[in-house]
Chains A and B, each alone.
Chain A
């Protein structure tokens, strides 16, 4: 499965070149599609990083929404540009993720998942109830004169997605990755092996939160309008988890393959069924089918097609 280092490097460089060049070659629809592809990959990688350490998030819209609101408020209140707002927005996502990691220090599995869900819904309720800050339920526009060209936003999203792939790839070769895997399998045993669960949690969630907030921040510059239901949308939470599940949870390529496949399926279903309202229905169906029939995702199904190397278990 492990390709040579040169090939992988070439792939990343190629992806980066495509990310920069593609927006100039396609129309506004193509730019839109590329933005969504980049976002779904970013969200998937972010979710998968946390899932790798056994932290299943059911509230990834938390980070996306925080990133969006942070970027928007920095633009509207402080007059910060697109370029200036992205890093602080990602940093805010990381900071909130660290806080989440610390306060949920004792929670595992289902309990952690429910906590993340409550956090995102709680933030949504807060955004509705604090109209002086967030514009409340009526929503708020990002400062029009600061908005960059859609093409620029698409390039940043694309490069961000490639960057996230590189980060996930580099991480997968470090001892940190194995520590995460040990935590996923059994946190107590991992602790016995000298792994500090809290440190892993904090690091992994900070990274995951930063990536998702980055995606949210970049997207608000494209969309231009934000309200609590858009920022902390359940849709985002689902987008984040569906790619890794369909592609192959806890694999490197899973979130990328699965995310792009999800996007393709939802685009195809839209052109067949011709309505916007079906996308969540399709996502639900993908979730059900993927979990029942492909528990290891596309990556797992592909792996099963080729003869397994003897006496070497992969995954888990």
Chain B
């Protein structure tokens, strides 16, 4: 019984972080209709940002997070100005391959600058835990969960309560109508690309004290984000949140109940992704309109 409870608790905590990670990708796609194949690299940059703030300046990842997110958002804005902005009307596959190239460059620049060594941030809460009955609650994961929930709440508030947020949603719903309402669509694209990078970086900063940081960590995070976003339905924030918890639950169950489960859990995302694409490409809550 306690194993089931432990499993549920772990999946909820992991689901929080996955939600934040996938919401970034989902938001970017929902607005620009471009799948950000360099998304994993923004997560990686965020993790490195938090790592260096922590080791060089002694700033806790929780405090450096806004700074790191802003820095990565700036990098993303520059990338948008330099290349992505020119490819807004290109075929989707060109945009994907372009971002794929951007990801490759970021990944390998990181590998050259910071070597391929695995690193991690150690904080007072990253390794400690509470014991409640038979259940262990990892402090680091609780912190990560709360932070993720807070950031998603802020994002939703921004999207629904502010002028710019409403404009962003308007562009997501109908580009032409948004143009007619006097919204600067290119600026909204730039903003949402930077925002999606900032969310990725925030995910990276939070995972810096949970996971090992390497220049190549982004690819796995990207595939997991894909699995979640496709599972929930491309472009649906509610679906993405649901998908994040489904994936977290599936991974945790496999890790706990399957022999050598920790290793197999890494493969769950791929299986989920393939299954969803085959059985229900529009996802749990996605609309089939706009697919393809």
Contacts and interface: CB of A to CB of B under 8 A. Distances in A.
Interface in A255-287: 277-278, 280-281, 283-287
B83 A288 contact: yes
Given A111-B291, A114-B277, A295-B94, A280 B104 contact: yes
B87 A292 contact: yes
Interface stretch (A71-79, A117-125, A148-156, A207-215): A117-125
A280 B107 contact: yes
Contacts of B273: 114-115, 118
A291 interface: yes
Contacts of B264: 125, 129
B176 to A, nearest CB: 22
B150 interface: no
Given A106-B281, A129-B263, A295 B90 contact: yes
Interface stretch (B5-13, B52-60, B95-103, B141-149): B95-103
A129 B260 contact: yes
B167 interface: no
Contacts of B94: 291, 295
A285 B105 contact: yes
A34 interface: no
14 contacts: A106-B278, A109-B292, A110-B93, A111-B291, A113-B93, A115-B274, A118-B273, A118-B274, A129-B267, A241-B97, A277-B111, A281-B109, A283-B104, A287-B101
Contacts of A234: 219
B231 to A, nearest CB: 12
Contact of B105 (A115, A117, A281): A281
A294 B93 CA distance: 15
Main secondary structure of the interface of A (DSSP, over half): helix
The B contact surface, by secondary structure, is helix
Given A114-B226, A115-B277, A288-B105, A58 B100 contact: yes
Nearest to A120: B270
A2 interface: no
Nearest to B105: A284
Interface residues of A, number: 39
Contacts of A277: 108, 111-112
Contacts, number: 119
Interface residues on B, range: 35 or more
A301 interface: no
A118 B277 CA distance: 10
Nearest to A112: B277
B75 interface: no
Interface string B247-260: 00000000000001
A125 B109 CA distance: 26
A56 B93 contact: yes
Given A115-B273, A118-B274, A292-B86, A284 B104 contact: yes
B230 interface: yes
B270 to A, nearest CB: 3
B267 A122 contact: yes
A104 interface: yes
A119 B274 contact: yes
A125 B230 contact: no
B271 interface: yes
A287 B107 contact: no
Nearest to A293: B86
A305 interface: no
B223 interface: yes
Contacts of B129: none
Interface string B130-147: 000000000000000000
Contacts of A118: 223, 226-227, 269-270, 273-274, 277
Contacts of A1: none
A128 interface: yes
Contacts of B87: 291-292
Contacts of A56: 93, 96
